């Protein structure tokens, strides 16, 4: 039996050719050539003015928050259900994360809870588009406008997702993306900072290069202490090839999700939503089993393992981690993760493999109903 991995990238001769060219020729005056081409192509795809390639999405968030002046004494609001990468930069800068509850249908920030959590110390709102699902950007941007608070999009998992004609990551004060090996497009490790704000772009550009401003004429003269979050030219070469294939890669993810949705129809569960007027890139097909059903995600994961299938747990609530304050009032977040699991997905996943995964889900849930 061939193992069904939970995800894997799509690498073709194009990626290999670009990476080979970068390895052979991308040195000296060409050492940033693929980085520039990748940034330009990605910005064009999103419809934004500026993009800065980074070593990770975490680094991109760190740069953006630092450029906004987030620091000690400030608060940053984000959803309780998230991977640690979304909140770690807040801690790096000495600010306080404020974790609020999620909506039961999108698993993203609840705008009403966001507004209720705002204080005079609130410096930013991080809208994480989890698993490709979209935050309610109309509501969040309106809240940000009303209180003068920037809304940031963590679109690490949302390549291919669109909110009413605008691509995820292009709507907030800035957006960030991940190109980890599990993502819809990959550079192995890597990320991207994007913005339409000229001044913020220049600030991030300076911070990302050890604090050396673009116009500085003195060699090796940092204008301030910055960071080192650059992506390598070879990684960017792979990324450029992926962006040139991006519609194909997005369509691959959507095809896999559509088959899961058909195969699992009628079972007591819900999956990633696609609200009217929106497009979901479906980075990670996810099931949330109805609360009335006796179900344990560990039980399903054990069945997967016995059948050579990988699965992923739904993210834990951050407030369950011992180094963050407990938030038992975030009742949706503390309920939903126990009933949810990510299903395997990759661009060229075979129909029979999807069917095999779904057979096990059906068998387990029907057994619970009997």
pLDDT at 366: 77
Among 201, 225, 244, the domain-final residue is 244
pLDDT at 1: 60
Task: Give the residues of the chain that fall short of pLDDT 70.
Answer: 1, 367-370
Q: Which CB contacts under 8 angstroms, 24+ apart, belong to 109-116?
A: 109/77, 109/78, 109/79, 109/135, 109/136, 109/140, 110/79, 110/332, 111/136, 111/139, 111/140, 111/143, 114/77, 114/140, 114/143, 115/143
pLDDT at 368: 55
Residues 62 and 204 in one domain: yes
Q: What are phi and psi of 293, to 5 degrees?
A: -90, 135
Whether 58 is in a domain gets the answer: yes
Residues 268 and 170 in one domain: no
Residues 134 and 258 in one domain: no
Residues 273 and 229 in one domain: no
Whether 211 is in a domain gets the answer: yes
pLDDT at 2: 87
Active site residue 183: yes
Summarised one tens digit per residue, pLDDT across range 140-178 is 999 999 999 999 999 999 999 999 999 999 999 999 999
Q: Could you tell me the residue range of the domain that residue 218 belongs to?
A: 13-244
Give the strand order in the sheet containing 286-289.
269-271, 286-289, 340-342, 312-313
Residues 220 and 343 in one domain: no
Identify whether the C-beta of residue 251 lies closer than 8 Å to the C-beta of residue 238.
no
Among 187, 219, 244, the domain-final residue is 244
Residues 233 and 265 in one domain: no
Give the strand order in the sheet containing 278-279.
166-167, 162-163, 278-279
Whether 5 is in a domain gets the answer: no
Whether 73 is in a domain gets the answer: yes
Number of domains into which the chain is organized: 2
CATH number at residue 78: 3.40.640.10
Rounded CA-CA distance 109/100 in Å is 7
Whether 8 is in a domain gets the answer: no
Among 216, 244, 272, the domain-final residue is 244
Whether 261 is in a domain gets the answer: yes
For 230, the 3-state DSSP assignment is strand
Residues 166 and 278 in one domain: no
CATH number at residue 255: 3.90.1150.10
pLDDT at 169: 98
Identify whether the C-beta of residue 341 lies closer than 8 Å to the C-beta of residue 287.
yes
pLDDT at 367: 59
Summarised one tens digit per residue, pLDDT across range 179-206 is 999 999 999 999 999 999 999 999 999 9
Rounded CA-CA distance 225/206 in Å is 10
Residues 259 and 355 in one domain: yes
Residues 185 and 222 in one domain: yes
Rounded CA-CA distance 125/110 in Å is 12
Q: What are phi and psi of 280, to 5 degrees?
A: -105, 125
pLDDT at 25: 97
pTM, entire model: 0.95
Residues 214 and 277 in one domain: no
Residues 333 and 298 in one domain: yes
Q: If we measure between CA atoms, which residue out of 297, 301, 300 comes closest to residue 335?
A: 297
pLDDT at 369: 52
Active site residue: 113, 123, 183, 253, which one? 183
Residues 270 and 228 in one domain: no
pLDDT at 330: 97
Whether 347 is in a domain gets the answer: yes
Whether 7 is in a domain gets the answer: no
């Amino acid at each position: 039996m061939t193992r069904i991995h939970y995800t894997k990238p799509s690498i073709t001769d194009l990626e290999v050719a670009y990476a080979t060219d970068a390895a052979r020729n991308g040195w000296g005056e060409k050492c940033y050539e693929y980085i520039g081409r990748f940034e330009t192509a990605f910005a064009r795809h999103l419809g934004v003015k500026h993009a800065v390639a980074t070593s990770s999405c975490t680094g991109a968030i760190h740069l953006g928050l630092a450029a906004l002046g987030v620091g000690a004494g400030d608060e940053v609001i984000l959803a309780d259900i998230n991977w640690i990468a979304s909140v770690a930069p807040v801690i790096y800068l000495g600010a306080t994360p404020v974790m609020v509850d999620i909506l039961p249908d999108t698993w993203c920030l609840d705008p009403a809870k966001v507004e209720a959590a705002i204080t005079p110390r609130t410096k930013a709102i991080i809208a994480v588009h989890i698993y490709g699902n979209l935050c309610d950007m109309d509501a969040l941007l309106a809240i940000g406008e009303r209180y003068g608070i920037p809304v940031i999009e963590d679109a690490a998992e949302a390549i291919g997702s669109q909110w009413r004609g605008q691509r995820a990551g292009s709507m907030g004060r800035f957006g960030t993306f991940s190109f980890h090996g599990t993502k819809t497009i990959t550079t192995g490790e890597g990320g991207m900072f994007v913005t339409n704000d000229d001044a913020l772009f220049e600030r991030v550009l300076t911070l990302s290069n050890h604090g050396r401003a673009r116009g500085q004429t003195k060699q090796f003269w940092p204008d301030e202490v910055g960071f080192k979050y650059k992506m390598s030219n070879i990684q960017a070469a792979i990324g450029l090839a992926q962006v040139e294939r991006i519609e194909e890669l997005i369509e691959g993810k959507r095809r896999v999700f559509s088959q899961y949705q058909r195969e699992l129809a009628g079972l007591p569960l819900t999956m990633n939503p696609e609200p009217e007027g929106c497009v979901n890139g479906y980075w990670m097909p996810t099931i949330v089993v109805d609360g009335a059903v006796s179900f344990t995600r560990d039980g399903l994961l054990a069945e997967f393992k016995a059948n050579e299938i990988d699965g992923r747990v739904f993210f834990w609530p951050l407030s369950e981690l011992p180094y963050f304050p407990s938030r038992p009032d975030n009742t949706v977040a503390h309920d939903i993760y126990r009933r949810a699991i990510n299903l395997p997905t990759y661009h060229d996943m075979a129909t029979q493999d999807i069917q095999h995964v779904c057979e096990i889900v059906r068998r387990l849930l029907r057994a619970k109903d009997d």
